[in-house]
A and B are shown apart, each in its own frame.
Chain A
Amino acid sequence: MQSKFMTMGIIISLIMLFIMIVLFKIQVLEQSHYRKKVDQIALRKNVLKSLRGRIFDTHADEPLAFNVSAYQIVLDPRTFVRNEKNIENLANALNVSKSHITNTITKSQSRTDEIVIRENLLYKEIIPYFEQINSWEGVRWKRTIQRQYAHDDSMAHVLGYVGDISVVELQTYAYKGYNNADIIGKFGVEKQYEDLLRGKTGTKEEVVNVFGQKIDDTEQIVKEVELGHDLILTLDREIQEVVEKSLGERIGAAIVLKPSTGEIIAMASYPSYNPNQLVYSVDSKLLSEIQRNVDSPFLNRAIQSTAPPASTFKVLMTTILLDLDRNHTLGYWHHRVYCPGYIKIGNRIFRCWLAHGHGYENYISALADSCNVFFYNVGIEQIGINNIFNYASQFGLGQLSAIDLPGEVSGILPSPQWKESRLSESWVTGDTANLSIGQGFMEVTPLQLASMVSGIVNDGVIYKPHVLKEARDQITGKVVYTTPIEELRNIDVDKQVFKSVRSAMRNVAINGTSAVVMTTRAVEVAGKTGSGQVLGDDFENLHSWYMAFGPYDLPAEEQVVVVTWIDAKNKWEWWAPKAANLIFQSIFANQNYEEALLELQKNGAWFYSNL
């Protein structure tokens, strides 16, 4: 009997020893591992969302883009009973499809995280649901922040819009601390200045029990939230409104900028889109609808669309011609060309727009009459392709204008090398002739032309164009960042030449082609029209350009550059100078669009009668 009990005792002791060893292993050898694990399990980290900075125009009084309270309807997977009937009721009540709810639930991996089934509901939109929501098990509403834009589709191209971060964006910017629930600037200033606007998220830790319920008094802010900065743009919303209305419902773009600083005062592009619709939309259907639209509403035509500069290029040609003779030794300043209405280069006839010809022209009259033959002639004889290319490059044509907006395109400044590599054809004299009148392969953006005029106004200095004036702290209003006035280009052209070119441009406005439509008396405008042919199309389809500055003869600081461009897709109205006329009238008479229009009509501008 004793031996049996002893055997039993030994077996029991050995097993007890084993248990002791296990206890020792867990509590002594692996203690730190489990301690860390226990702390992690019970500690919940919450992200404290930052508030995105607002966007103001230059007056910094009313925000253009701001945040409002919005609501989302969420499911709690722990309490929501997932059956056919519940989902169907929910779908009917919330006006979403059943599959949307099922898919959203299926997509959610977590057993505890809330599932968002509708978001971005405004207060008035959620009111009907309040009562129902309370009666449903596992359904709740939550307050969130919603981006809103004060002027809908006005300024939409500059402001841009925000949206849920995409997979690609998440991969690209993950190092900046984004997560998949974040919103991110998708376009315009919202995208360009994402880092300034966004701020930094904070972290809050709290102890939770197994049900995820917070334990009282355990909250601790580990990292404070940094609010995003408010942006003050250079845009003036009143001038912007005039510019947009002047452009009207014509596909095209318009830019108003201050040449002495590079500040963009207004930038319009038609057609536009409504960013509010994009942040409200339940799905991405609307987004793809806009993207598929043949008129490309997302295109900021002021910087993303190109067309041949046409006759506006003649201003540059004049500048080159005069600068090549800065010492007045070659006689270019008085050079005269006889225009019979055409010129024969090789076997090809190049025509002037006036069939019977302009007769004898010098640079002033040729610019005023926009005489093609004069510029064909000097382009081939006096200037030559190399000079055209060198000077145009100095003015920034064919290069990015370096504006602080995403997606700018550089256009095309052709050269023999360019033609060789692109078309595998050699450069012929006819190409030089075409280039001399801003046709052929050349393509520019409205902003590039505006920069070019700025250079002429500033005696050769082109400042970096920009839309951001400064960034301010969201609470204190303290300025935290100011966009520097940056000299982008300094063109090596004699000051006397610029003065003469400005004078010639003023002459165009008084005596030249656009004199009949530049009727504003509020300001002395100097400018040049352009009517660009679209390759392969008939005469009716022309781009309409107008680039101008004013008030003429005042110091550069007081000047304003206006460039308008109406796409060839529109009915031909020769609208660009007419729009610029309205813009100048409005800016310098300090009138709104309607007042400016009325005043111009009173002063005999018959051509606005169809408005």
Chain B
Amino acid sequence: MTILLDGGPRMRRDEFRLLRDLVNQRSGMYFDDASFFVFERRLRERARALELGDFTSYYQYLRFHPRGPEELDEAIDALVTNETYFFREEYQLRAFADDVLPRLRAQAEAAYRRRLVIWSAGCSTGEEVYTLAILVLRSRLFEGWDVRVFGNDISRRVLGIARRAVYPRHSFRAMPPQYEEYFEPDAGGRRVADRVRALCQFGHFNLMERERAAILGRVDAIFCRNVLIYFDTESRRKVIESFYDRLQPGGFLMLGHSESLLHVSTAFELAHLATDMVYRRPLGTASLAPRPGDVGDARSGDGEGRR
């Protein structure tokens, strides 16, 4: 299927609805009726790659085939226009580096903890993960600490790109020149330096899978920028609740500039930084009782034992 020429099966409205509902069940993302042509064009390619002649067969493949869930993740990746690059929304990153990181250091020290964990939720091709790691390194506030920057995504394809850590020129279009030292030349563009990569890890799971997120333990900051816009209201609430669970008391939640928690959650408080406003899990809240499968508490070193 090409952009202007009809070269493959047409999608029926009932097929669109079935596929859309399946995507919603799997990922929490909701696509309105206007997304019909996006579904038709982008999923047609996937159906053809699987040699399926119509969208009903593709839908049944997603539902019944052992590789259906994997294919569904790739279909979702194809549907979402997820463009990212290094130092995207730089003003917010500056606020993070100048304001948030010092606060996180102070909070961790007060709890006798020398560990910093940052979660890039829905990390796509990984530029945000490496950007955050670079900011932590450059701050020099956490030398000798256990620092981890973790990125998750639903698409194996983008995670593969993230792990390769080699990026073409357009990924650097917003990067200030003072960060050049964190990259090395590569045939495919530029490669992220090893000392940055050493701080970073990637994982494959869906933001709706709250239990899987427990693998991270407690984190100090979460970046989830321009991801939740695809979610329906109920799914957005569930994801935000999951974020609240994962954050240390006093931990920060950074959303995209057009996103807010209005009508979603009153559990977070607004934190006024010098150049930005962000959300924070209130400092006063004690840790949650561990949930089954939650391995974080034992590693958090925050001095609070299991109940």
Chains A and B form a bound pair: no
Could you tell me which A residues sit within 8 Å of B by CB distance?
none
Could you tell me which B residues sit within 8 Å of A by CB distance?
none
